[in-house]
Amino acid sequence: MTTDSRSSCATPAADPWRQQPARIHRMLQELPGVTTFELVPESGIGGGGHGIWPFRAGQFNMLYLPGVGESAISISGDPARADVIPHTVRQAGNVTRGLAALREGDVIGLRGPFGSSWPLERCGGHDVVLVAGGIGLAPLRPAIYQLLANRAEYGELTLIMGAREPQLLLYPGEYDGWRAAGLNVVTTVDRADGSWHGSVGVVTSILDRLWLRDPSGTLVFTCGPEVMMWYVMRTAASRGVPADSLYLSLERNMNCAVAFCGHCQFGPWFLCREGPVLSFDRVQRLLRIENL
Amino acid sequence: MTDQCETFWLPRADLDRLIRLLSEDGYEVVGPKVDQSAIVYDRIESAADLPEGWTDRQNPGEYRLERRDDKRLFGYVVGPHSWKKHLFPADELVAAAKRAGDTWQFTTPNAPPRRYAFLGVRACELAAIAVQDRVFMGGPWVDPLYRARREAVLLIAVNCTQAAATCFCTSMNTGPRCERGFDLALTELEQGFTVECGSERGRELLRRLFPADGPAMAEATELAAAEAARSEAVTRITRRMDTDGLRELLLGNLESSRWESIAERCLSCTNCTMVCPTCFCSTVTEVEELTQVDRRRQWDSCFNIDFSRVNGNPSRNTIAGRYRQWLTHKLATWQDQFGTSGCVGCGRCITWCPPGIDLTQEVAELRSSVERDSAGAVP
Amino acid sequence: MSLDAPNLLRMLHTTRFAEGLPHAELTALARASRLVEVGPGEVLFREGQVEDEVFVVFSGHVRLSMKVPGRGEVTLLTAGPGDLVGWSGLISDGVMTATATVMDSARLIALTGRGLQQLCDSDPQLGYVLMKRMAQVISRRLLSTRLQLLDLFADAAAARSHAGVPAAAQVAVPTETTPSGARP
């Protein structure tokens, strides 16, 4: 398995059940029902002994609201940034709704980072296409920061960003900066009124006609609704991108995050450990089996 | 395998002294006991607690205690309990949160673990413990709670001298002979037990039990009788599971109609996962106490519909999907995850399934349906 | 607008619709084509009008929209390089089912429906290839429409607001491909 070197990076000696207190430095309302929590571990980032190790793009943390529970949330910040750890959270269940009711300065529990990451180490010299749908941009954002921080090392970099409607594009304030830094940002929406002058249509249509300099040397990372990711993978494969160069971030019920509880199994994988990022060749067959 | 020449003899009357010695050493001795018409594993104080003269009769969906016509203490096979309930309790504290001003103080349990001595561990159960060792201690993360108990436990195994109709350990290569992973392994005869030592800790225990001149070596007649008794278990095992290409069989037929056929009988009641000695699924839940919030890990089951829920929707919305998850995990993907099968052939899931679904039978049916289909494809 | 046959031929064979065709067929196709260069806001065709031309977008973008009473002009899709618009002219009665408005400076290859039809009728082999490609285009378009219909991002929109769209999100369309829009 190629992900071994990238699976759970925190020290095995650490107590996996131990929560780290983390203070909410800032809460940013990104979209209706979507908030970014900038967390600062009480013991600092990168210091010793607290378990919050430098994370890799694509990994997630468990955010804990005592009395309510934990929720697995992708880290959406820059891995190189040592002041705060941002998590973009959509209100979907008790924990995420509880989080949304907190205020800046409140303290929550944090465990992590967990899981596999986007294979940036494979991207040197290659073209990379990121395809995000809705809030799926959150786990891709750390990869964007890292790619742009070392822009010269890569070929063409493209982000295809889809949303339901223009008002629901995530992190819109950053697109110009990314463009200036060398990322080709293409946005598209499912529906729009006359005030929208951008593209209407699904991300797969954009990917389908995207000019690829060297399909066999291109990597595609995608995160979004599973149906969208499936067709992104299929479209990219039809364009000649090898299945083992296509990566997606899967979501299942993560409860313990350390492969003890069994919840997040997907075929042979614990998505908390071998996932959430997996290559398409490994999951292709399983993805189309219902109730797996 | 232990050396035959190191087999000792423990007179029946001295078993009680062994139990008391363990208690004096600070062990909580857990062994078989009759409770509510079943032989369960529970705390025992003396040999008098053991299920003398009882045996179990098992069939798919059926478990009955019956009297034996002798006074054997271990004359049964396995009951609804397995040792996992002590090494991996059904409900335990894993962490706690306490308000501390405007922040939280997070703690994890640091009390010394309970020191258990298990008496009466069968070969399939030794195998099951080894399987759970891989789950909780073999990956990048180690469960400190499991490890603490596991490292402290003393294992006294007892070789099977009979088998239930539901047993198939010989197919899974886990028994019936106890070969490794124990401190002491007994084989019960009418007058006492032959004893093999599997560890220095076991050897030391025996020496202390007979402080004057050490434990007696077993006589040739006793060794022969013990061998005959153990062979009896092997010959009584009638159930088979064909493990040849089993992983590929299951993973290659995820969309077989057989899953639907099983789903017509399966109640999704979770019994099989509760009695299984290797099933490890759990959920951590929040329990509000007076001054703190406890995080408690409780056994869960892949047969519960909520188990796979993501954003309000279960990923496995059908019984067929859940049974398939359980069986393919147990017999196939477990190998990918832990390098071993998740099944030890103890037969509990067959016995304790209300409609008596038998996984060995289901695997055989799947195999023959696949063979039929491929035979049909040939003109 | 200009007509430059060798250039047109070169452009044609880089489009997914015509790539890989033998030279003779390409030449025949080019004879039935013309290059159209259109500026932003220009309308290629209108819903309800009868048109005889099918357009292959070479560069730039075309907005397809339908008029809905009470809602005005609703954008259905943004077609980009490689896409085909106005196929009613070839496979149906020529009555356009949407309005096509050029969004930026676009270059398109216009094929006359009648010319294309004659080509297909006289050379069924070529006709079969072209119709197959047309079917692929339509099938992709259908899949996209279905994915739009599934409303996959609905959860995120549960509590939608009517906040304005930041300008940065809007400047999207022209950066999608390399300038030529075609594949080398």
Instruction: Measure the CA–CA gap between C180 and A256, rounded to whole angstroms.
Output: 51
Instruction: Give the distance from residue A86's alpha carbon to the nearest chain C alpha carbon, in angstroms.
Output: 19
> Does A192 touch chain C if contact means CB atoms closer than 8 Å?
yes
Q: Over its length of 184 residues, how does chain C's per-residue pLDDT go in tens digits? A: 345 667 888 888 888 888 888 888 888 888 889 999 999 999 999 999 998 899 999 999 999 999 999 888 899 999 999 899 998 877 778 899 999 999 999 999 999 888 888 888 999 998 999 889 889 888 999 999 999 999 998 864 443 344 445 555 554 444 444 433 333 3
Q: Using CA coordinates, name the residue in chain A closest to C171.
A: A198
| Residue contact B286–A68, C-beta within 8 A | yes
Start-to-end CA span in chain C (Å):
24
pLDDT computed for residue C179 by the predictor: 36
Q: How far is B227 from chain A (nearest CA, A)?
A: 39
**CA distance linking residue B255 with residue B319, whole number of Å:** 14
Nearest to A21 among B95, B106, B337 (CB): B106
Instruction: Return residues 134-163 of A near C (CB < 8 Å).
Output: 134-135, 162-163
pLDDT of residue C178: 40
Chain C touched by A90 (CB under 8 Å): yes
Residue C181: predicted pLDDT = 37
* Residue range A97-103: mean pLDDT, rounded: 95
Mean pLDDT of chain B: 94
How many A×C Cβ pairs under 8 Å? Answer: 156
Cα–Cα distance for residue pair A207/A220, rounded to 1 Å: 10
For residue B17, count other CB atoms closer than 10 A to its CB. Answer: 15
Q: Do B300 and A66 touch (CB under 8 A)?
A: no
Nearest to A259 among B139, B255, B288 (CB): B139
Sort out which chain C residues have CB atoms less than 8 A from A195's CB and list them.
Answer: 165
H or E stretch at A237 = helix A226-238
CA–CA distance, C105 with A57 (Å, rounded to integer): 38
How big is chain B by its Cα radius of gyration, in Å?
Answer: 22
Pick A228 or A54 by higher pLDDT: A228
Euclidean distance between CA atoms A241 and A243, whole angstroms: 6
Min mean pLDDT across A5-14, B179-188, B260-269, C43-52 is at: A5-14
**Cβ B87 vs Cβ B149: under 8 Å:** yes
Chains in touch with C (≥3 Cβ pairs < 8 A)? A
Amino acid found at C89: G
Q: What are phi and psi of A101, to 5 degrees?
A: -85, -5
The DSSP bridge pattern shows strands B103-107 and B91-100 to be antiparallel
C179 in helix, strand or coil?
coil
* CB-CB under 8 Å, A261 with B284: yes
User: C81 vs A211: CB contact, 8 Å cut-off?
Assistant: yes
Subunits next to B (3 or more Cβ pairs <8 Å) are A
Testing the interface with C: which of A165, A169, A191, A199 to mutate, by most C Cβ within 10 A? A199
Tell whether A33 lies on the interface with B, counting CB pairs under 8 A: no
Considering chain A, what is the average pLDDT of its residues?
A: 91
Selection from B12, B63, B17 nearest residue B347 by Cα: B63
How far is B257 from C31, CA to CA, in rounded Å? Answer: 57
Of A134, A175, A200, which has the smallest distance from its Cβ to C168's Cβ?
Answer: A175
From CA B302, how far away is CA B280, in angstroms rounded?
10
Separation between Cα atoms, residue B44 and residue B46, nearest integer Å = 6
Q: What is the pLDDT of residue A239?
A: 94
Please say whether the dihedral angle defined by the alpha carbons of residues B297, B303, B307 and B312, taken in this order, is positive or negative. negative
Nearest CA in chain A to B336: A268
Query: How far is residue A52 from each of residues A45, A46, A105, B76, B158, measured CA to CA in Å?
Result: 7, 7, 19, 51, 46
Of A23, A69, A265, the CB nearest to B329: A265
Question: Binning pLDDT at 50, 70 and 90, where does residue A81 land?
Answer: confident
The verdict on a CB contact (< 8 Å) between A107 and B142 is no
As a whole number of angstroms, the distance between CA A198 and CA A234 comes to 25
Quote the pLDDT of residue C162: 40
The beta-strand segments (E) located in A154-291 are: 157-163, 184-189, 199-200, 219-223, 246-249, 265-266, 269-270, 277-279
Q: How many residues does chain A have?
A: 292
Percent above pLDDT 90 for chain B: 90
Where residue B282 falls among pLDDT bands split at 50, 70, 90? very high
The closest of B173, B172, B169, B198 to B186, measured between CA atoms, is B198
Using an 8 Å CB-CB cutoff, list chain A residues near B282. Answer: 255-256, 260-262
Q: Give per-residue pLDDT as tens, A154-166.
A: 999 999 999 999 9
What pLDDT, on the 0 to 100 scale, is given for residue B10? 97
Which residues of chain C make contact with A168, given a CB cutoff of 8 A?
153, 156-157, 160
CB-CB under 8 Å, B295 with A17: yes
Q: What is the pLDDT of residue C88?
A: 81
Report the gap between the CA of C98 and the closest CA in chain A (Å): 14
How high is the pLDDT of residue C116? 86
Q: Hey, is the C-beta of A226 within 8 angstroms of any chain B C-beta?
A: no
pLDDT at C134: 87
pLDDT for residue B283: 96
pLDDT, position C183: 36
Nearest CA to B135 out of A291, A267, A58, A256 is that of A256
pLDDT at B86 over 60: yes
A-chain CB neighbours of C164 within 8 Å are 167
Q: Which residues of chain A lie closer than 8 angstroms to C72, CB-CB?
A: 194
Q: Is C129 helix (H, G, I), strand (E, B) or coil?
A: helix
Cβ pair C140:A205 closer than 8 A = yes
Q: How far is A262 from chain C (nearest CA, A)?
A: 26
Interface membership of A199 toward B (CB under 8 Å):
no
Contact call for B102 and A105, based on CB within 8 A: yes
Averaged pLDDT, B116-145: 97
Chain A residues with beta carbon closer than 8 angstroms to that of B285: 69
Residue B358: per-residue pLDDT:
97
Contact at CB, A261 and B282, closer than 8 angstroms: yes
What pLDDT score was predicted for residue B290?
A: 86
d(CA A227, CA C153): 11
Determine contact, residues B275/B348, Cβ cutoff 8 Å: yes
Give the one of A12, A262, A263 whose C-beta lies nearest to B140's C-beta. A12
CB-nearest to C159 from A33, A175, A225 is A33
- The tens digit of pLDDT for each residue in B166-210 reads 999 999 999 999 999 999 999 999 999 999 999 999 999 999 999
Q: Locate tokens 């049916």: which residue?
A: B365
Chosen for mutation from B141, B266, B286, B340 (greatest number of chain A CBs closer than 10 Å) is B141
Chains that touch A (3 or more CB pairs under 8 A): B, C
Query: Which pLDDT score is estimated for C13?
Result: 84
Confidence of residue A14 (pLDDT cuts 50, 70, 90): confident
Which residues numbered 70-89 in A keep a CB inside 8 Å of some CB on B?
Answer: 70
Those of residues 265-284 in A touching chain C at CB distance below 8 A are none
- Look-up of token digits 């103890």: B346
A92 inside 8 A of chain B by CB: yes
- Asked if A10 is an interface residue toward chain C (Cβ–Cβ < 8 A), one would say no
* Contacts A165 to C, Cβ<8 Å: 157, 160
**Quick check: A3 pLDDT over 50?**
no
Instruction: Closest CB to B284: pick one of A255, A268, A289.
Output: A255
Query: Between chains, do B311 and A93 touch, taking CB under 8 Å as contact?
Result: yes
Which residues lie closer than 8 Å to B36 by C-beta, 6 or more apart?
Answer: none
C-alpha–C-alpha distance, residues B62 and B121, integer Å: 22
A42 touches chain B (CB under 8 A): yes
Listed range (A25-29, A77-81, B30-34) with the worst mean pLDDT: A77-81
Chain B partners within 8 Å of A253 (Cβ): 307-310, 315
Q: How far apart are CA A252 and CA A268, in angstroms?
A: 14
Do residues B2 and B188 make contact, with C-beta atoms less than 8 angstroms apart? Answer: no
Determine whether the interchain pair A18/B320 forms a contact, defined as Cβ–Cβ distance below 8 Å. no
pLDDT at C20: 86
CA distance to partner chain A, nearest, from residue B211 (Å): 41
What pLDDT is attached to residue A54? 79
pLDDT for A281:
96
